[in-house]
Amino acid sequence: MSTEQEKQVSDTLARLDAAASAGDVEAIRVEALGKAGWISALMKTLGKMTPEERQSEGPRIQGIRARVADAIEAKKTALEAAELEARLATETLDLTLPAPSVPKGSVHPVSQVMDELSEIFADLGFSVATGPEIEDDWYNFTALNMPESHPARAMHDTFYFGDNHRAPNGGKMLLRTHTSPVQIRTMIAEGAPLRIIAPGRVYRSDSDATHTPMFHQVEGLVIDRDIHLGHLKWTLETFLKAFFETDDIVLRLRPSYFPFTEPSVEVDVGFAIENGKRVLGGSGDAPGHGWMELLGSGMVNRRVIAFAGLDPDEWQGFAFGVGVDRLAMLKYGMDDLRAFFDGDARWLSHYGFSGLDQPTLSGGVGAKA
Ligand code: DAH
C-alpha cells in the first residue's frame, strides 16, 4: 500500500475514533465512501488497470474500503449505545414515589349505579346479559309485540338507519330505544328458566333537562314456571330497599299499558318532602307525601314468550325496565341529566366515585370514599 493511502486510512480511523456525534461520523463517511470520496476515487482507478494489476490492486483497495466501512459501522453502533445509556441514565423511574395526594379520575355515577345494580341482583341469582346497541326492528319492536303499525312505535322517537343498511331479515336497522330487545335475545339464546338484568345504553331523539338522546336503562327479566305478580313486587321491593339503603320503601303498583307485558304496571315509590327536598319513604298517600313514578313492569306477554321461541303455556315471567340515570339522580341528588354527558372534570370529581370503592352488599352498595 502506498504510504499516502496508508496515511489516509490511519488518519480516517483516528478521526473516527475521536468522533463525538453521528454527524461527525456521517461527515467522515461521505469524505471516504461518498460519491466524491477518496475511497470511491480509488475504486474507480481499478477500471483503468491491466487485468494483472487489477488482480493484486483489487483485493487491496477492497480491503481498504472494508476496513474503513467496518470502522464506520462500529463507531455508529458505539455512539448509539452510548446515547441510549445516557438517556436511560436521565430517564430513571423512581418506583418509591408515593401516589399523588389527590386521586386522579373517578368512576362515573352511571357506572357506579350499574355496578350497584349488578351486585344487588347477583345476590338474588340474576346474571348480567347484554345485546347490541345497533338493533333491527324485529328485536326492538316486532318481537316485543309491537308490529309495524303499532302506535307505541311512534312514541319511541327512534333513530333509524338509512334504507341501505338493512338487517339480514330485511328489517330496518335502528339504535335500540330500550333495553327490552335483550329480553328476546336472551330467551332465544338461553331458553328458560332465566333470571337476568340487562343494563346498557339506549337512544331516542329527545333532548331537554331530563332527556338526552342517549341514556341508560336496566332491564330485568325472570322466566320460570308459575311466576306471578307477587314475585315481581317482592323483587322490586327488595331491589329498591338495597339500592336506596333503607327499609322504608313503599311501592304502589298502578295499572298501565306496555305491549310486551300483560298485565302491565307502573311502579311508584312513596316520598315525603323534607326541607323542600323529596326524600324516599312512607306512603305517598300520607298527608304531605306523594308518589313518584319510578319504573315500568309487568307479566311478560304470552305473545312475547312465543316470539322468543318458548311455550307460553309452560313458561311465565315478569319484566321491568328502569332508567339508570334517573336512579342515579334520585340516589345521589343531581338535578340536570345533561351534566352526566358533558365530561366536565369538576362535575366528575364532585359526583364521581373512587375506583377502589367497589359496591358490595356487606359494605353498603353506595359506600362513598
Ligand atoms: N321498555 C320500556 C321503555 O323503555 C320500559 C319497560 C316497561 C320495560 C315495562 C319492561 C317492562 O321490561 O316490563 O319505556
- Under the banding of pLDDT at 50, 70 and 90, the label for residue 351 is very high
Average pLDDT over residues 238-257: 94
- The residue whose C-alpha atom lies closest to atom 6 belonging to ligand 1 is 321
Q: What pLDDT does 360 receive?
A: 83
Does the Cβ of 200 fall within 6 Å of ligand 1? no
Does the Cβ of 178 fall within 6 Å of ligand 1? yes
CA 183 / ligand 1 centre spacing (Å) = 11
Nearest to 140 by CA among 49, 259, 232: 259
pLDDT in tens, 334-347: 888 899 999 998 99
Task: From residue 207, give the alpha-carbon distance in Å to each of 108, 212, 333.
Answer: 21, 5, 20
- Under the banding of pLDDT at 50, 70 and 90, the label for residue 210 is confident
pLDDT in tens, 303-319: 999 999 999 999 999 99
Q: What pLDDT does 369 receive?
A: 42
Helix, strand or coil, per DSSP, at residue 40: helix
CA 257 / ligand 1 centre spacing (Å) = 10
CA 329 / ligand 1 centre spacing (Å) = 19
Peptide bond into 100 cis (omega under 30): no
Rounded Cα gap, residues 313 and 306, in angstroms: 10
Nearest to 45 by CA among 5, 83, 80, 105: 5
Rounded Cα gap, residues 49 and 59, in angstroms: 13
CA 105 / ligand 1 centre spacing (Å) = 33
Does the Cβ of 296 fall within 6 Å of ligand 1? yes
Q: What pLDDT does 368 receive?
A: 55
Peptide bond into 263 cis (omega under 30): yes
Q: What pLDDT does 1 receive?
A: 56
Residue from 158, 204, 297, 305 to probe ligand 1 pocket by mutation (most atoms less than 8 Å from CB): 297
177 Cα nearest atom in ligand 1:
4
Task: From residue 259, give the alpha-carbon distance in Å to each of 146, 206, 320, 338, 350.
Answer: 6, 22, 13, 29, 40
Asked if 239 and 120 count as a contact pair (C-beta separation under 8 A), the reply is: yes
Q: Where are the domains of the chain?
A: 3-90, 109-351
Q: Which residues pair with 273 in a beta bridge?
A: 278
- The residue whose C-alpha atom lies closest to atom 7 belonging to ligand 1 is 296
144 Cα nearest atom in ligand 1:
1
CATH architecture group of domain 109-351: 2-Layer Sandwich (3.30)
Task: From residue 97, give the alpha-carbon distance in Å to each of 87, 92, 93, 94, 137.
Answer: 20, 12, 9, 6, 55
Q: Are strands 194-203 and 214-224 parallel, antiparallel or unpaired?
A: antiparallel
pLDDT in tens, 160-197: 999 889 988 889 999 999 999 999 999 999 999 999 99
Does the Cβ of 181 fall within 6 Å of ligand 1? no
Cell numbers 321461541: residue: 309
Residue from 155, 158, 178 to probe ligand 1 pocket by mutation (most atoms less than 8 Å from CB): 178
Asked if 355 and 105 count as a contact pair (C-beta separation under 8 A), the reply is: yes
322 Cα nearest atom in ligand 1:
5
Q: What pLDDT does 367 receive?
A: 53
Phi, psi of 74, deg, nearest 5: -60, -40
Does the Cβ of 219 fall within 6 Å of ligand 1? yes
Asked if 295 and 267 count as a contact pair (C-beta separation under 8 A), the reply is: yes
Residues in the chain: 369
Phi, psi of 173, deg, nearest 5: -95, 150
Cell numbers 306471578: residue: 228
Rounded Cα gap, residues 71 and 232, in angstroms: 84
- The residue whose C-alpha atom lies closest to atom 5 belonging to ligand 1 is 321
pTM metric for this prediction:
0.72
Nearest to 281 by CA among 245, 327, 239: 245
- Under the banding of pLDDT at 50, 70 and 90, the label for residue 364 is confident
CA 77 / ligand 1 centre spacing (Å) = 68
Rounded Cα gap, residues 117 and 122, in angstroms: 8
Does the Cβ of 297 fall within 6 Å of ligand 1? yes
Helix, strand or coil, per DSSP, at residue 58: helix
